[in-house]
Amino acid sequence: MNIFKRILDIVYPYKCGICGKINEKSLCNRCYLRLKDLQRLKIIDIYNKNFTELISIFEYKGLIRDKILEYKFNDKAYLYNTFVNFLLKNEKVCRKIKKYDIILPIPISNKKKKTRGYNQSSLIAKNLAYKLNIEYREDIIIKTKENLTQSELRERRERRKCKRCI
């Protein structure tokens, strides 16, 4: 480890993205267990021309929803470490992901990327691909139109109804 990295780690130590306590993995054991209790892992087979499988880890509510919204809209890009480290501790999810040849992020509009400063799915996808030794590509799925903001639609049926969102 170089001296510059050591100084940065002292000045800006890694913190658990859930409770805020200093933790080099960005997820302390107490909060990992808390997230594990909230986990509702579903692996669903889908039969359409673009996707064959959907992996859902949490329900979009409570603490999970709050952390995702913080990550996306409150300039907390560092939370990707918390999400990735949770995923890496889940053997079933890692085994499933390792079967794929490539990891692709969901693109966001240039306007949203400029406002946020980052693509939240890209940070997670890139880090996960690196740690699992899977190819990562950003140039395969292209954003072609502006969608309504999903986070403002609380209920699943509202998101499904919204034809512009899907």
Q: How many CB atoms lie within 10 A of CB 153?
A: 15
Residue 71 predicted with pLDDT over 50 = yes
Q: Where are the domains of the chain?
A: 26-144
In sequence order, what are the beta bridge partners of 139? none
φ, ψ at 22 (rounded to 5°): -60, 130
Task: Provide mean pLDDT across the span 88-101.
Answer: 91
Residue 21 predicted with pLDDT over 60 = yes
Residue 28 predicted with pLDDT over 70 = yes
CA 13/CA 143 separation, integer angstroms: 35
Segment 123-156, tens digit of pLDDT? 999 999 999 999 999 999 888 877 767 666 666 6
Contact call for residues 25 and 8 (beta carbons, < 8 A): no
Q: Which of 78-82, 113-117, 121-125 has the lowest mean pLDDT?
A: 113-117
C-alpha distances in Å from residue 39, one per residue of 13, 28, 83, 93, 161: 27, 16, 12, 12, 26
Note the pLDDT of residue 44: 86
Task: Provide mean pLDDT across the span 87-108.
Answer: 91
pTM: 0.81
Q: Which of 58-62, 83-87, 145-149, 161-165 has the lowest mean pLDDT?
A: 161-165
Nearest to 69 by CA among 138, 160, 12, 153: 153
DSSP string, 23-84: -TTSS-HHHHHHHHHH---EEEE--SSS-SEEEE-S-SSHHHHHHHHHHHHSS-TTHHHHHH
